[in-house]
Amino acid sequence: MKEKEVDRSVPGTLYGVGVGPGDPDLLTVRAARILSVVPTLAVPKSVSDGSSLALEAVRETLESRTTPPKTIELVFPMTKDPSILETARSENARVLSEALSEGDVAFISLGDIFFYSTFGNLLDGLRRQIPDISVRIVPGITSFSAASALTGRPLVQGSESLAVVPATYGAESLDQILDTHDSVVLMKIHRVYPAVLDILERKGLCDRTIYLAEIGTPRQEIVTDIRTLKDRTLPYMSLLLVRKNLREVRA
């Protein structure tokens, strides 16, 4: 690899690679360069028999290789149960440490590798197992940065403030956040959308909010009248951009 040489008397280098929101064209040059030569690819999934959006985002890069990488799948259950999460984290750390004993590994994640990614918690466990582990971080384009570009409107300007939060915070917390920031990105809205919509309606912010889902994929969707989504089942990869200082965001 065209990275700094690593002493092979210690484990291989772990690359945490953010692959962007899902559009292969938004993969960074650095990420593509690493993925084109790394011997092992670590792919996170929510269920063992499910697909990986991160893997889809880098498929073109992988298919251009003469020799495909070895792929290991790491399952991160979608639960808040701490015992289940700890068991999964320990197992994933074990699998990764074994792979690192053989050479370099790239762990891929949608968006940016350190922004609401499973990689951060996993890395903590790995550093306990391998104190001298070599880690390189490759940042990626976040979903909300791509979303802002798609709407053609800046997220913040001048002295405006921005908050990026999970919509699962709860009504009281969201109320405060919406009151104190000029722009708000609400992530993970799919399970709590009716409650979030009620808050935005009460605050008169529906016409200053845009919904975006599965950005950069063939299923990408942009909706400017968010009231029309009230009775729909929304995908996991969906968010809301709230711009309080815009008069209106409808096309």
Q: Are 53 and 176 in contact (CB under 8 A)?
A: no
Domain ranges of the chain: 13-138, 143-243
The Cα–Cα gap between 46 and 50 comes to 7
pTM assigned to the model = 0.87
C-alpha of 243 from chain center? 22
C-alpha of 148 from chain center? 15
Taking only the tens place, the pLDDT of each residue in 29-43 is 999 999 999 999 999
The domain over range 143-243 is classified in CATH as 3.30.950.10? yes
Kind and range of the H or E element at 178?
Answer: helix 171-180
- Domain 13-138, CATH homologous superfamily name and number: Tetrapyrrole methylase, N-terminal domain (3.40.1010.10)
Torsion, Cα 134 86 118 49, to 10 degrees, reads 110
Taking only the tens place, the pLDDT of each residue in 128-176 is 888 889 999 999 999 999 999 999 989 999 999 999 999 988 778 999 9
Could you tell me which of 96, 109, 101, 25 has the C-alpha nearest to residue 61? Answer: 25
